[in-house]
Amino acid sequence: MNILFRIVLLFLLAKHCQQTPIVQTTESFDEEFVETTTQAHIVEKTKDEIIADLQNKLNNMRRHVAAFKSKSQADAAKVLSLSDLIVAYESQIDSNTAIIEKQEEHIKKLNSSVNSYRSIFMQKELEITDLQIKTREDKTSIQDYLQQISIYEDQLKTSQVSSCVPFGNSTGIQLLHLPSGKPFLVQCESRITNFGTGWTVLQRRIDGSVNFYRDWNDYRDGFGELSGEFFIGLDKIYRMTTNERYELLIHLQYYDTEKSSYIRYNNFSIGNETENYVLKYLGDVTCDDDLKFEQYNKYEYYHQKLCYNPLQNNIGMKFTTFDQDNDNFYWQNCAKECHGAWWFNSCSVLDNDFSHLNGLYGKSKASSNIHFHGVLRYVEMLIRPFNNGLTRNY
């Protein structure tokens, strides 16, 4: 019986080992086997009791195996679910990796842009530094300019200087401020022998460097350089001569002599633009001996010296330019004919006492050249308030 018991016991043990690979279940069975063997030695059981007991144990083991299988299936389901989750996470990781790669590429581009802007910024800093240095260097000059502007503003507010007389012996460019209109610059002259100081230059011809064949607007506003050849402008002449009584001095030189000559009028004025800047008055005339001629009566009892006075014939004439014909010749424009602009009473040097101080510069005796009872090498027109400075009678 002991042999049979051992065989059955070994059979059950082997079968139990095949069905229960779990270490924990085997260990439990071993403990029960030891306990059973012990009890078998202590208490003799019958074959049926042993079989029934083993059957119960077998049933318990089956229940354990079933429970283990159920747990394994649940764990497998969890594993499958976790696998799906891992796949999803891996897909998300791949997507995030692609995004990160794009972001890294974008960061590289941004870094490149930052480096470029940093280079530009450094260049701008250098430029700003240069400008700051230049600004500091120019600061003194700017302050000087501001002081000069302030002085000029004060002069504009308070100055009543309307002629060159208050400047005394000054010869140079000065600012005049007349009662109406804007202030303007003029060339003052105080170096003319025997005629005193305070003369304002209206016109100057010395070398032909400035074109005097100009339109109406140029002659109205003025043109040229005050330090060289120029015409001050009819509007300025009107503003000065209408403000108070002025005398006119014409300083001239002919080509056939090195000596300068002078002719002087004591009441010079012109009209405004509406009146086409008509030559209104000249007043009495005086001149030096080079511009005088002798006049005898028919019995030659006496004679007198008179001034050549070609400008006398221009009184009452309106100013004419090539684009505005105001002369008395309906069949031609004297400004075009004489290549200049003037208070024309005649278009030809063949007429007696022809004058034209704004013509072409040169020796030609044609009416298109500068004339004042002859061709001129040099001429200046100057004005000054009447009875200022030295007055001389010839």
Q: What is the pLDDT of residue 22?
A: 43
Q: What is the 3-state secondary structure (H, E, C) of 296-339?
A: ECCCCCCEEEEECCHHHHHCCCCCEECCECCCCCCCCCHHHHHC
DSSP string of 223-258, one letter each residue: EE-TTSSEE--HHHHHHHHHHS-EEEEEEEEETT-S
Say which CATH topology domain 165-385 has: Gamma Fibrinogen; Chain A, domain 1 (3.90.215)
Residue 13 binned pLDDT confidence (cut-offs 50, 70, 90): low
pLDDT in tens, 371-382: 998 899 999 999
Contact 325, 333 (CB under 8 A): yes
- Of 184, 274, 296, 180, residue with least CA distance to 233: 184
Average pLDDT, rounded, for the chain:
82
Averaged pLDDT for residues 167-192? 90
Look at residue 387 and give its three-state secondary structure.
coil
Least confident segment among 143-147, 157-161, 195-199: 157-161
Residues in contact with 270: Cβ distance below 8 Å, sequence separation at least 6, in sequence order: 234, 237, 238, 241, 277, 278, 279, 280, 319
Q: What is the pLDDT of residue 23?
A: 44
- Residue 333: pLDDT above 80? yes
Averaged pLDDT for residues 176-180? 86
Helices (H), the chain: 2-19, 23-42, 47-158, 216-221, 234-243, 334-338
208: left (phi over 0), alpha (psi -120 to 50) or beta: left
**Separation of alpha carbons 179 and 239, rounded Å:** 9
Task: Tell me how many degrees the CA angle 137-173-222 measures, rounded to the nearest 5.
Answer: 110
Phi, psi for 210 (deg, rounded to 5)? -115, 135
Least confident segment among 191-195, 278-282, 360-364, 376-380: 191-195
Instruction: Give the residue extent of every domain in the chain.
Output: 2-90, 165-385
Least confident segment among 42-56, 161-175, 291-305: 291-305
pLDDT in tens, 62-73: 888 788 788 878
**Separation of alpha carbons 355 and 308, rounded Å:** 11
